[in-house]
Amino acid sequence: MSTGINGDNKAEAMNGTKKVEERSLGSYYDLYIPTSFDPENQVTLYLGDCLEFLATLPDESVQLVITSPPYNIGKEYEDALDIEQYKAQQRAIIEECIRVLKPEGSICWQVGNYVNKGEIIPLDILLYDCFKNKGLKLRNRIIWYFGHGLHCKNRFSGRYETIMWFTKSNDYIFNLNEVRVPQKYPGKRHFKGDKQGELSGNPLGKNPSDVWEIPNVKANHVEKTDHPCQFPVSLVQRLVLSMSNEGDMVLDPFMGAGSTAVAALLSQRRAAGAELVERYHQIAQERIRQAIAGDIKVRADKPVYEPPAESKLTTNLWKTEEQLPLVDFITTD
C-alpha cells in the first residue's frame, strides 16, 4: 500500500520546505491515509485503541518510538486510574513497543507529573522500571523546559517535562550532527597544547545537551489545534533526526494531533500510530496531509524570542519610587 503519491512527486511533496507549485493541493488534501499497517506505507493512522493497533505490527519493524502518553489526570481520552493500574496499563503498551522495535532502535517516552491532591508523582520515575526490566538502556533523561504554563500557589510552578530515551541495545543509531545547535562562542580557540590558536568548536555547531528550551504549544502558537496536550514539532524532530535515518519507520502509539507523524514526514521518514478520539484522529489526518503537501505551518527549531528591553510588555509597571532594589537591603555590617 502507499499514500498515493508516485515516486517523482513524493520527493517534492515531502520536501517540507516549500509549497508544491504548479499542482492543485486538493489532490493532496484528498489523499487516503491507510488505517492498517503495512511496512511500505508512508504513513498509517489507526482510529482506535493503541494495543489493538500494536498487535498488528510485526516484530522488529520500527526504528523509533516517540510518544507522550496520557498522564492519568482525567482528560477526555483517558480514565483516571489508581496509580498502580495506570502503571500496569502503561507497562502493557511499553512491552508491545519494545517487541516491535528493531535491535538498533530507540524509544522516547515523553512525560510530566501525575498530580494527586497537590502531591506530584514524576511519571518518568514511576515508569522507569517498565523499560529497565525488559533490558532497555537509558541513554538520556532529556529535560524539556518551557517558559509558560499554569501558575501554582502552593508549590513552584511546573515548567519542564522529561523525555526518557532508551535503546534496545548498545548498537544504536545516533546522528548528532543532524541536531547540533549554534555555539555560544563560535570564535573560541584552544589556549594551549598542539592546537593552540585553532578554533576549538565544531564547525557544525554544538551538542544541544540534555536540557532543551522549546516553547510549548499554547493558544497563539502557530501549530495550535484543538488538542489540549499537543507537543511541538521541533521537539519531536530533534529525536527523529538524531535517532533514525531517512526511510525508517517512526511509531507513536498515542498520536494525538499528529505531531510525531508530521515531524517524521518532514524528515523523509515513515510514520505509524493510533489515536482513540475521532476528533483528534481527524486533526492528525489534516496535519499529515498538510505535511505531505509541504503546506503545514510549524515553528522552526530556533532560540526562544526575547522581546526588546524597552517594550510595553517588559516594562515593570508595578514598580514604584518607594520600592527599593534588593541590593539596597544588603549591608556590610
Which range (105-109, 133-137, 148-152, 185-189) has the least confidence?
148-152
- The 10s digit of each residue's pLDDT in 285-311 is 999 999 998 888 887 877 777 778 778
- The 10s digit of each residue's pLDDT in 77-97 is 556 678 999 999 999 999 999
How many Å apart are CA 74 and CA 76, to the nearest integer?
6
How many CB atoms sit inside 10 A of residue 209's CB?
A: 10
pLDDT score, position 8: 40
* Amino acid sitting at position 195: K
How many Å apart are CA 129 and CA 135, to the nearest integer?
10
All 3 cell numbers of residue 142?
532529556
User: Is-above-0.85 flag for pTM?
Assistant: no
Domains of the chain from N-terminus onward? 7-329 (3.40.50.150)
4 vs 300, which has greater pLDDT?
Answer: 300
How many Å apart are CA 198 and CA 279, to the nearest integer?
56
pLDDT bracket for residue 2 (50, 70, 90): very low
Residues of the chain above pLDDT 90, percent: 54
pLDDT score, position 201: 86
What's the whole-number mean pLDDT along residues 94-110? 98
How many Å apart are CA 274 and CA 260, to the nearest integer?
11
pLDDT score, position 158: 79
How many Å apart are CA 8 and CA 46, to the nearest integer?
27
Does 233 have pLDDT greater than 80?
yes
Show Cβ contacts of residue 35 under 8 Å, excluding neighbours closer than 6 positions: 44, 45, 46, 47
DSSP string for 121-173? EEHHHHHHHHHHTTT-EEEEEEEEE-S--PPPSSSPPP-EEEEEEEESSSS--
pLDDT score, position 225: 73
What's the whole-number mean pLDDT along residues 175-191? 92
Does 214 have pLDDT greater than 80?
yes
pLDDT bracket for residue 10 (50, 70, 90): very low
- Nearest Cα residue to 95 out of 52, 54, 66: 54
The CA-based angle 44-48-49, given to 5 degrees, is: 105
Distance of CA 296 to the CA centre of its chain: 17
Which range (17-26, 259-268, 305-314) has the least confidence?
17-26
Does 209 have pLDDT greater than 90?
yes
- 106 close to 167: Cβ distance less than 8 angstroms: yes
Query: How many helices (H) and strands (E) are present in the chain, helices listed first?
Result: 8, 10
How many Å apart are CA 286 and CA 31, to the nearest integer?
10
Q: To the nearest 5 percent, what fractions of the chain are helix, strand and coil?
A: 25, 20, 55
What's the whole-number mean pLDDT along residues 265-288? 94
Does 180 have pLDDT greater than 80?
yes
How many Å apart are CA 217 and CA 223, to the nearest integer?
7
What's the whole-number mean pLDDT along residues 5-19? 37
- Nearest Cα residue to 258 out of 239, 294, 230: 230
